[in-house]
């Protein structure tokens, strides 16, 4: 087992510790618990691309201490900071012979459609075949917001609002999940190839934890039950339209997440869910999206337990 000196954490505001005193964030609490010096490379309002960029830059510029570092990488939201113009979210028939039904907006801009009329009708077909169209007209805005009810007694499932024109909500969702699965696994393999010890954990959406087999790390059994219901695909009185409830549990890209060895991932919790159902404006849950000191403490304990169980660290004082 390596002798670590530094805990390098990278994620979004959850790992940065937005609105929480610096010495009470989960990253600081965890570093102190492990007896390590914290290096927090997290940035609020960012996603996985920021993780890749910040960690890669750190590696390039700190080669002399890499063997003394343990990395925690936190994946943020489904929609956070991805360039959708380069992700397959637009239905087209150009590459159907290769069983590819969705292409990125920029691909569609140049490749177009074999059958324009099927997708746009006669009027729009005349416009689009001229190729005189802006990227913003062609690019469909995917997942611009998520809606949820925090009411403990009337909790709806997590879903995203999509613009009109999407032919298959679940298919587009599958493409997004495939994109993230490949990005996460590729970066994991990059770190593993460099012999850099690390663990990846979900922050706000189920990626590694797509099977929704959550462990009860929660402060109360009631919170645990509410979280399982929150991610359920079952219609509720709040959101009965199943067209907007994505089936994380059965994503086709699951095999990619499964290919990551369990030692390198925490796949039984979404950190946000640990404090989601606590009263907003308290030390548990500051504003619905960010943990207060008590919420941070629960996150730190959850990750710490995983690090011990996976054999990365020995218990305190041993």
Choose between 152 and 198: higher pLDDT. 198
- For 11-28, the pLDDT digits (tens) are 999 999 999 999 999 999
Interatomic CA distance for residues 12 and 50, integer angstroms: 8
pLDDT of 115: 81
Please say whether the beta carbons of 37 and 31 come within 8 A. yes
295 and 198, same structural domain?
Answer: yes
Residue 222 is predicted with a pLDDT of 95
Q: Are residues 67 and 98 in the same domain?
A: no
Q: Are residues 211 and 95 in the same domain?
A: no
Q: Is the pLDDT of residue 32 over 80?
A: yes
Query: What proportions of the chain, in percent to the nearest 5, are helix, strand and coil?
Result: 45, 10, 45
Token reading at 150: 């925090």
Residue with tokens 């009109």: 164
The confidence band for 126, taking pLDDT boundaries of 50, 70 and 90, is: very low
Instruction: Report the 10 Å Cβ neighbour count for 226.
Output: 18
Tell me whether residue 203 is in a domain: yes
Predicted local distance difference test score (pLDDT) of residue 131: 45
Q: 3-class DSSP state for residue 268?
A: strand
Distance from C-alpha of 198 to C-alpha of 72, rounded to nearest angstrom: 6
Question: Same structural domain for residues 290 and 217?
Answer: yes
Residues 195 and 292 in one domain: yes
Quickly state the pLDDT bin for 256 (edges 50, 70, 90): very high
The predicted model gives 214-231 an average pLDDT of 94
Contact partners, residue 153, CB within 8 Å, separation at least 6 = none
Q: What pLDDT band is residue 123 in, cutting at 50, 70 and 90?
A: low
| Mean pLDDT of the region 45-70 | 92
> What is the distance between the alpha carbons of residues 203 and 233, in angstroms, rounded to a whole number?
20
pLDDT-based confidence at 141, cuts 50/70/90?
Answer: very low
Report, as an integer, the average pLDDT of 130-134: 44
Q: Is the pLDDT of residue 242 over 60?
A: no
Domain match, 188 and 302 both? yes
Q: What is the mean pLDDT of the chain?
A: 82
Higher pLDDT, 98 or 41: 41
**Same domain, residue pair 72 and 127:** no
pLDDT surpasses 80 at 279? yes
Distance CA 74, CA 231 (A): 19
Greater confidence, 39 or 235? Answer: 39
In contact, 109 and 45? CB cutoff 8 Å:
no
Q: Is residue 24 one of the residues assigned to a domain?
A: yes
Task: Classify 159 as helix, strand or coil.
Answer: strand
User: Is the backbone of residue 212 left (phi > 0), alpha (psi -120 to 50) or beta?
Assistant: left
Residue 51 CA from chain centroid, whole number: 11
Average confidence (pLDDT) over 195-203: 98
Q: How far apart are CA 258 and CA 180, in angstroms?
A: 13
Enclosing domain of residue 272: 6-78+170-309
What pLDDT is recorded for position 148?
A: 37
Query: How confident is the model over 222-237, as a mean pLDDT?
Result: 82
Domain assignment of residue 84, yes or no:
no
- Does one domain contain both 131 and 274? no
Please check whether residue 278 lies inside any domain of the structure: yes
| pTM of structure | 0.80
Q: What is the dihedral of CA 3, 9, 10, 13, to 10 degrees?
A: 170
Q: Pick 254 or 2 by higher pLDDT.
A: 254
C-alpha to C-alpha distance for 101 and 85, rounded to whole angstroms: 16
- In the chain, the largest separation of any two C-alpha atoms, in whole Å, equals 74
Higher pLDDT, 291 or 157: 291
pLDDT at 159 over 50: no
**Pair 58, 124 in one domain:** no
Interhelix angle 48-61/169-193, nearest 10 degrees: 10
Number of domains observed in the structure of the chain:
2
User: Are both 196 and 271 inside the same structural domain?
Assistant: yes
At residue 243, the pLDDT reads 52
Based on the fold, state whether residues 238 and 115 are members of the same structural domain.
Answer: no
């Amino acid at each position: 087992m390596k002798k670590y000196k530094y805990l390098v954490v990278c994620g979004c505001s959850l790992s940065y510790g937005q609105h929480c005193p610096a010495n009470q964030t989960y990253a600081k609490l965890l570093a102190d618990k492990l007896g390590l010096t914290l290096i927090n490379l997290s940035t609020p309002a960012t996603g996985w691309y920021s993780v890749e960029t910040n960690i890669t830059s750190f590696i390039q510029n700190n080669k002399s201490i890499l063997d003394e570092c343990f990395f925690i990488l936190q994946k943020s939201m489904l929609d956070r900071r991805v360039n959708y113009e380069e992700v397959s979210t637009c239905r087209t028939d150009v590459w159907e012979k290769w069983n590819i039904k969705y292409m990125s907006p920029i691909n569609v801009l140049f490749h177009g459609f074999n059958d324009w009329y099927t997708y746009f009708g006669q009027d729009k077909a005349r416009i689009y075949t001229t190729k005189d169209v802006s990227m913003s007209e062609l690019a469909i805005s995917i997942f611009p917001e998520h809606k949820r009810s925090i009411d403990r007694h009337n909790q709806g499932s997590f879903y995203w609002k999509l613009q009109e024109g999407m032919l298959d909500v679940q298919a587009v969702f599958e493409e997004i999940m495939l994109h993230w699965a490949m990005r996460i696994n590729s970066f994991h393999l990059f770190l593993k190839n460099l012999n850099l010890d690390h663990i990846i954990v979900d922050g706000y959406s189920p990626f590694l934890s797509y099977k929704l087999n959550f462990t009860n790390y929660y402060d109360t059994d009631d919170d645990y039950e509410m979280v399982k219901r929150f991610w359920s695909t079952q219609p509720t009185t709040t959101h009965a339209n199943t067209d907007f409830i994505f089936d994380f549990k059965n994503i086709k890209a699951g095999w990619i997440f499964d290919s990551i060895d369990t030692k390198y991932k925490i796949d039984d919790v979404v950190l946000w869910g640990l404090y989601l159902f606590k009263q907003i404006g308290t030390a548990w849950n500051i504003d619905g999206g960010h943990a207060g000191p008590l919420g941070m403490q629960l996150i730190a304990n959850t990750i710490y337990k995983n690090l011990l169980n996976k054999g990365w660290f020995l218990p305190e004082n041993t």
